[in-house]
Amino acid sequence: MAETLLEKPAPDTPPFRTFIFPILFITSLFFLNFIARIIPAPLLPVIEADLGIGHAQAGSMFLIISCGYFITVLGSGFLSSRISHRNTIVVSAMTLGLALIATSLSTNLWAIRLGLLLTGLASGLYLPSGLSTVTSLVPSRDWGKAIAIHELAPNTSFIAAPLLAELLLVILPWRGVFFLIGLFSLIMGCAYLRFGKDGAFRGQAPSFAALGILMRDPSFWIVFILFSLGISVTLGIYAMLPLYLVSEHGIDRSLANTYVSLSRVACVAMAFVGGWANDRFGPKRSLGVICALSGFIVVFLGNATGTGIIIAVFLQPLIAACFFPPAIAAVSSIGPAQVRNVSISLTIPFAFIIGAGLIPTGIGFIGESGSFGLGISLVGVLTLFGAVLSQFLHIEISSGHDVDP
């Protein structure tokens, strides 16, 4: 039986506020991990001009990062089962810093691609251990709130990346942006090694038994598809949005990055809306509504012109930001407790390589063929399909929502 997503607290359970600081400490590491993977997005117009590459080659940079991310997220359980989740988080932060610094020192396209692959490899170690640490800190009734705080990292990264890129490009070449983020990642890795206490337990290494349990559960496959779509409408579209606005709508690069950054400000609060919706209505209902609304808005983004494109840029991320708290809660409820991190380790890398790798590359390819908007609209149509698919999830939770035999 799948573990319950919500449970009655023990009488001596500490209040949620006592866990906020350790969750925020872990979230700060996730922030650097995430921004390292999306910082190429606001830099793409400059990188394209500097390296003399096309839209498809620019979009493929995210596929390269995703390939590295795929490998280590999938195999991170082998490392965490030997050195603990805490030490895996430290290794991820430190090696990510070194990979970014190496990328900043690269002098040709192939060396940059290798640096981006190493960046993906290093960053992929974090997420299963980070999520397992966060969910181990609080009772499952508070998972929605804890995950929502953890989700501050990607949502604030979406805001910070374009502003940071524009600010630093005034005084540094684009390679300098990579160098500074790498340096901060090294510093934070050292800080967690010295002060971080949580996650000092070992993960579950992937095994054929664990794989068999998950592969036989149809909900695992549904969540995988939903995760792919969720990453597509967040990371996938974000990765190509500045280039789309500059190339297809003729918007100035600095203005485009400003629009993209400002459009993500309200998303910080929307992540908490997603966490609240999960705790109140359950993941099935939440994901159905979020996918439906997000699909319609993405189609609008791909077809809007003039003032409409600006409205779409601001509307699209609001709903997409709600996706991950219920999605992560759903994947964390699949299978027995001892294979929870294996479920995360399987779902996220495959979904990431599709949503944050193949989707940006595909949008770039279609854009190079003459229509960025068509590629974006196709993502919206697929997301609408996800709204229907989500209703076939079987998740057992004690609150009475989404209970299936």
The CATH number for 75's domain is 1.20.1250.20
If you search the block for the tokens 């100035």, which residue do you land on? 252
Judge whether 1 lies within some domain. no
- pLDDT surpasses 90 at 196: no
What is the per-residue pLDDT for 119? 95
CA 265 to each of CA 44, 268, 301, 351: distance values in angstroms, whole numbers, following the listed order: 22, 6, 18, 25
Confidence of residue 404 (pLDDT cuts 50, 70, 90): very low
Judge whether 182 lies within some domain. yes
State pLDDT tens for residues 267-311: 777 767 877 777 777 777 888 888 999 999 999 999 988 889 999
Judge whether 2 lies within some domain. no
State pLDDT tens for residues 128-169: 888 888 877 877 677 777 877 887 888 788 889 999 999 999
Judge whether 12 lies within some domain. no
State pLDDT tens for residues 19-48: 788 888 899 999 999 999 989 989 988 988
Which residues touch 287 (CB under 8 Å, ≥6 apart)? 226, 323, 326, 327, 330, 386, 387, 390, 393
Give the helix/strand (H/E) hosting 243.
helix 237-249
Rounded to a whole number of angstroms, the distance between the first and last alpha carbons of the chain is 10
Judge whether 3 lies within some domain. no
User: In sequence order, what DSSP letters do the residues of 72-138 get, joined into one string?
Assistant: HHHHHHHHHHHHHHHHHHHHHHHHHHHHHHHHHT--SHHHHHHHHHHHHHHHHTHHHHHHHHHHHHS
Give the whole-angstrom CA distance, residue 37 versus residue 157.
10
If you search the block for the tokens 């524009």, which residue do you land on? 166
Tokens of 134: 């966060």
State pLDDT tens for residues 352-379: 889 888 998 888 888 888 788 899 999 9
Of residues 179 and 287, which shows the higher confidence score? 179
**Full domain range(s) for residue 159:** 19-392
- 11-15, 252-256, 346-350: which range is least confident on average? 11-15
Mean pLDDT across the chain: 82
Of residues 76 and 257, which shows the higher confidence score? 257
What is the per-residue pLDDT for 146? 80
Judge whether 8 lies within some domain. no
Judge whether 7 lies within some domain. no
Judge whether 398 lies within some domain. no
Confidence of residue 324 (pLDDT cuts 50, 70, 90): confident
Of residues 223 and 31, which shows the higher confidence score? 31
Taking Cα atoms as reference points, which of 117, 121, 132 lies closest to residue 205?
A: 132
Tokens of 364: 């770039």
Domain count of the chain?
1
